[in-house]
Structure 1
């Protein structure tokens, strides 16, 4: 589990745990307790089932300089380009939790049925939290497609310990990985943290991805706080121009607890301006209730934040599972 053993210290690893030099440490267990059980908690009630009106059956391949993105739900995407099929943070499980019987449960089906997936060549997993790294789904993908799984340092051990058949490869921030057919991915810093249990905080690294495609660069942000926006400006400067950004907009209430690790919609609008992407798609909302806001609050607040920033609403769109965008 501990991905940090035998690794030399760096500007984001102290010899024992990873850290973000531009970030803040995760909340203490006492603060977790205060949020979960404090008397002032206001947790919105989500409908038990909130089906998406869409379902996608992707083509076998998308060739050449086109890219097709299908929103699976929460933080899961299928990106098809140059004849490659790439999944980002794939979760087909019923729950995102260490337990099969408890924890956040789906409020809608994945936008692509598992059996409708085309041949998967590569999987990108941003970090170790259960709503992004789902070993049950990774195991199913390994059995069916045996894809390469690219992930930040330490998460490979979580995967291979659960199932040695998962072809996990771990990389550090700023490492670039060739996926073939002219497509490559670079792991980039993001403002977050990691844990699978109570006692392994930040023993594995977290990252976002810049994917180079013939259709332009796609900046796939898994989880990130906004902070001062430094990471987003750095990515725009180092990796721009960006054709498309995938930006999280959900799991943000209460702000006192969540703002350092998850953006709210107005943070995401600032992140879009900072990274300079031509177009963005929102995710991390409407499927799993991880925090206190209502199921439709992120999408509504996103529209308001875009209007306030005088950015056209079509520049940052919140999709529903099963919706598709082609570039």
Structure 2
């Protein structure tokens, strides 16, 4: 009986590489995402913590400055993995999601428990959007349509995601890149597309057809690392970042959506691993993201904050160096 032929990649075609087999992307030396039977085992384990329906942030919705010039760096938390980075006269959004749900459906799926930390109408002019991969809690087409209509930013994303976005948001300024590529934004600012240990899918038939990534923003005021969505992967990518970029003024690292570990470890690091990642990539300051807005996994809503504090104390790292940011919180990074 002939071997079953792989489905063609609907988003990307290119030569094989150390993370692309000619059809699908993969994590070199890493672990594949769980099988469907594993997903069912997790979904029916009965260990899902109950989150509140609403959980207001202690911070009011922020009204950011129009620009932050020079080496100054201001970071504002919107929610989950959406942050506004302002430095060198640029306004940059990471994985922008203003929708109420992270789902293919408007009536079902993970629902936002707190409003965005910046009202969409209060955004400053957005120059650049970084989209790390195509999961619904990171690539939100409704928000990208709004951004295109109101700001017309450049979207930088890993290979394949440009096709998905371009089909849904015609006319959007899109650039797609592979791991190791660099984008010159001018005035000494560059964006590097870097490895993450994750996967991609919008549905059951496009798993690993688009690439996932983290980003390094190289600026005159110092390097900024947005790790995207990632498993710890023995710290391999963190060591690579330190060796390649020589450390970071600031890092944005995921700290939530990590339980149960037997299922989530390949794709989502926990707070203890995030602290190790901060050390390994040599970041002076770090912000914790990917927690407290959408319930994706089993842990209680406030557990990542408690676990982060415990991990920092265990490593004798001052808590003010690694903060679990809440919607509306503004950090003027030293």
TM score, norm. by length of structure 2 = 0.95
Contact 2:79 2:326 in 1 (8 A): yes
Query: Deviation of residue 184 (structure 1)?
Result: 1.2
Contact 1:66 1:214 in 2 (8 A): no
Equivalent position to 2:99, from 93, 102, 123: 93
Alpha-carbon RMSD: 1.0
Following the alignment from structure 1 to structure 2, what is the Cα–Cα distance between the partners of residues 205 and 90? 18
Contact 1:126 1:151 in 2 (8 A): yes
Equivalent position to 1:3, from 4, 11, 36: 11
1:27 aligns with 2:45: no
> Which residue of 2 is the match for residue 49 of structure 1?
54
Query: Deviation of residue 165 (structure 1)?
Result: 2.5
Contact 2:182 2:193 in 1 (8 A): yes
> Which residue of 2 is the match for residue 196 of structure 1?
202
Query: Deviation of residue 41 (structure 1)?
Result: 2.6
Contact 2:241 2:247 in 1 (8 A): no
1:264 aligns with 2:270: yes
Following the alignment from structure 2 to structure 1, what is the Cα–Cα distance between the partners of residues 129 and 302? 29
Contact 1:190 1:208 in 2 (8 A): yes
Following the alignment from structure 2 to structure 1, what is the Cα–Cα distance between the partners of residues 81 and 267? 15
> Which residue of 2 is the match for residue 146 of structure 1?
152
* 1:148-197 CA distance string (max 9 Å, x none): 10000000111011121322210000100112332211000011111100
Following the alignment from structure 1 to structure 2, what is the Cα–Cα distance between the partners of residues 41 and 12? 36
Contact 1:12 1:19 in 2 (8 A): yes
Q: Secondary structure at the match of 1:237?
A: helix
Following the alignment from structure 2 to structure 1, what is the Cα–Cα distance between the partners of residues 313 and 137? 30
> Which residue of 2 is the match for residue 135 of structure 1?
141
Contact 1:23 1:192 in 2 (8 A): no
Contact 2:91 2:127 in 1 (8 A): yes
Structure 2: runs of 5 or more not aligned: 1-8
Query: Deviation of residue 308 (structure 1)?
Result: 1.4
> Which residue of 1 is the match for residue 220 of structure 2?
214
1:297 aligns with 2:303: yes
Contact 1:121 1:147 in 2 (8 A): yes
Following the alignment from structure 1 to structure 2, what is the Cα–Cα distance between the partners of residues 106 and 194? 21
Equivalent position to 2:330, from 317, 324, 327: 324
Q: Secondary structure at the match of 1:44?
A: coil
Following the alignment from structure 1 to structure 2, what is the Cα–Cα distance between the partners of residues 80 and 177? 18
> Which residue of 2 is the match for residue 187 of structure 1?
193
Following the alignment from structure 1 to structure 2, what is the Cα–Cα distance between the partners of residues 106 and 158? 24
Q: What pairs with 1:218-257 in structure 2 (closer than 5 Å)?
A: 218-257=224-263
Following the alignment from structure 2 to structure 1, what is the Cα–Cα distance between the partners of residues 88 and 276? 31
> Which residue of 1 is the match for residue 43 of structure 2?
36
> Which residue of 1 is the match for residue 6 of structure 2?
none
1:287 aligns with 2:293: yes
Following the alignment from structure 1 to structure 2, what is the Cα–Cα distance between the partners of residues 314 and 285? 18
Contact 1:65 1:214 in 2 (8 A): yes
Is the deviation greater in 159-168 or in 286-295? 159-168
Q: Which aligned segments of 4 or more residues in structure 1 are displaced greater than 4 angstroms?
A: none
Equivalent position to 1:14, from 14, 17, 21: 21
1:65 aligns with 2:65: no
Q: Secondary structure at the match of 2:26?
A: coil
Contact 1:122 1:179 in 2 (8 A): no
